[in-house]
Each structure stands twice: as C-alpha cells, then as structure tokens.
Amino acid sequence: MTVMSIAGFDPSGGAGVLNDIKTFQALNVYGTAVITALTAQNVKRLDDIIPVNSEFIEKQIDTVLEEENILYVKTGMLYSSDIIKTVASKIKEYQLKIVVDPVMVAGSGGLLSKKDMVNSLKKYLLPLAKLTTPNIFEAEILSGLEIKDESDAVKAALKIGEYCNVVVTGGHLEGNDVFYDGHINVLRGELVESQNTHGSGCTYSAAATAYLYKSFNLEEALIKAGDFTRKSIRQGFNGTLNQFWKFKECTNIKNHDL
Ligand code: PXL
C-alpha cells in the first residue's frame, strides 16, 4: 500500500513530481509518480511546457495500479481541462482518496495551467477530494473573492468548502493556514522569511498526503505538514527547499560538502 503523485515534471528538482517524491521519501513513504506535463524551468523562470496526452496519462495510472495498491493520490499541475477529466475518471474508477493541490502558476510567476482548467477543477475533481490546498492566489481564483487578510481567507475557504475540505495556505497570511472542514479552524504558524521557497506549496500538499496516508486525521496532518514545510524551507538552499533536514547524513542538499 502506498501513495501516488499525479503532477508536472520540474527538471530543476524543486517542485512537481520530483519534489513530491522527495517529500514522501523524507517522511518514509514510498511514492509513485504519474507525469501530466513536462516543463522547462528553473527557480527563476518557466520557459516552456509540453503536456502529456491523456491516453498516456491513463496508461501510466493503469500500469502502476496493476502492481501497486495505492491508497492516497496527490494531484499537482494538471494543466488542462482534458487532463483533469482524465484524472477524475481514474480516481473514480479506482476509488482513490485524493488531495488536490490546485496548481495554477509557478513560483517564478509562469502559468502552469490553461484558463479553462479552473471550471473543470471545480466540476470534476474537487467534489472527489478529501482536501484541497490552495495558496492565497489559487483561493482567490477558486472562490472568485479577493483575499487581503485572514477574514477574507475565511470567506474564500467557506466558498471553496462547498466542494471539499480546504486549507488556504498561509505563506501570505503571516504564516497562518485557514482550514475548513465544516468548521473554520485557523492553524497558527509562523512566516519563514526565505528565498528558498520554490516548491513549498508542493511540499506542504505532499506532506499532508503522506501524513493522511499514515492515518493522522486531517487537522493533525495539516499541522504536521506545516511544521515539515517550515523546517524544509529553513534548511533550503539556492531557491528550493531541503526535505532531508531530519537525517544526519544528508546527501540531498545543494551545498553538501563532497
Ligand atoms: O509549486 C507549483 C508547481 C507545481 N508543479 C510544477 C511546478 C510548480 C512550480 O514551479 O513547476 C511542475
């Protein structure tokens, strides 16, 4: 039994499926990964995107599920309406539990989604989700509301909460996360001032998925995911996080002494 990330490929290693696998691994969870799109990018800029065709995405999911018993899926960059429909139908077919990270733009600002994908996300995928993890920008698009402070984030969470449980992540809310699962709960965090944040949304969502897989309840999983992400940002280097802060023999950081 294990988990799967269905997301884009960021060759810089900071976000997308590479980030998700690193996060799962650091939390001692075996990860599988289905790629929805290739990107050419680094922490500073997004150069290009090649989406994977839906038929091939289906094949990746089907072949992995032939051999692996997947309990939780985390979705990241899905790019288009077509890919969302494909993924949603596979989630239904295999009755998988999903955490949806509604990825829309890269940390560098480049667009990672087509315009029409937001409606499909709401129509096909969010109703199947156990949780969605928008940042402020994504929560504004999903709710249609402007978010300037915590009370706006609460309003947006209530709106998005019509589809599924939601946590509006607090990178821009002084580090506090607004969680709604039928009740509003503000998870107090602390804002980590750092340049090493490329992939922080992916890390948070993947960590929440790993903790849910380990049978923590939603609130516990989110508190732990927030803690894990803050520590990974603090240990980050050259623009990205380092999820391997737990390990004494850390071979994953970019400034590792050879
Ligand atoms: O952090 C959002 C994200 C998700 N998926 C891919 C990305 C990024 C950000 O750059 O590249 C593939």
Tell me the C-alpha distance between 95 and 162, whole Å.
21
Residue closest via CA to ligand 1's atom 9 equals 106
Domains of the chain and CATH, by start:
2-252 (3.40.1190.20)
> What is the token pair recorded at 201?
């949304």
Rounded distance from Cα 102 to ligand 1 centre (Å): 10
> What is the token pair recorded at 20?
């998700």
Whole-number pLDDT of residue 256: 61
| CA-wise closest residue to 45 among 110, 104, 103 | 110
**Residue 43 contacts residue 14 (beta carbons within 8 Å):** yes
**Whether residue 39 has its Cβ less than 6 Å from ligand 1:** yes
**Residue 163 contacts residue 98 (beta carbons within 8 Å):** no
Whole-number pLDDT of residue 238: 86
**Residue 72 contacts residue 99 (beta carbons within 8 Å):** yes
Please state the pTM of the whole predicted model.
Answer: 0.96
Rounded distance from Cα 140 to ligand 1 centre (Å): 18
DSSP E strands, 95-239: 97-100, 129-132, 166-168, 177-180, 184-187
Rounded distance from Cα 21 to ligand 1 centre (Å): 13
Tell me the C-alpha distance between 98 and 89, whole Å.
12
**Whether residue 171 has its Cβ less than 6 Å from ligand 1:** no
Q: Which residue has the tokens 């499909």?
A: 120
> What tens-digit pLDDT sequence spans the chain (258 residues)?
999 999 999 999 999 999 999 999 999 999 999 999 999 999 899 999 999 999 999 999 999 999 999 999 999 999 999 999 999 999 999 999 999 999 999 888 889 999 889 999 999 999 999 999 999 999 999 999 999 999 999 999 999 999 999 999 986 778 899 999 999 999 998 888 899 888 999 999 999 999 999 999 999 999 999 999 999 999 888 898 999 988 866 655 666 655
**Whether residue 10 has its Cβ less than 6 Å from ligand 1:** yes
Tell me the C-alpha distance between 60 and 239, whole Å.
31
Those residues whose C-beta lies under 8 Å from the C-beta of residue 211, and which sit 6 or more positions away, are 27, 220, 221, 224, 225
Tell me the C-alpha distance between 194 and 231, whole Å.
11
**Whether residue 35 has its Cβ less than 6 Å from ligand 1:** no
Whole-number pLDDT of residue 247: 81
Site to probe by mutation for ligand 1, drawn from 5, 6, 9, 10 as the one with most ligand atoms within 8 Å of Cβ, is 10
146 vs 154, 172, 200, 211, CA distance in Å?
A: 11, 13, 22, 31
**Whether residue 4 has its Cβ less than 6 Å from ligand 1:** no
Whole-number pLDDT of residue 109: 86
Residue closest via CA to ligand 1's atom 5 equals 16
Tell me the C-alpha distance between 220 and 215, whole Å.
10
**Whether residue 134 has its Cβ less than 6 Å from ligand 1:** no
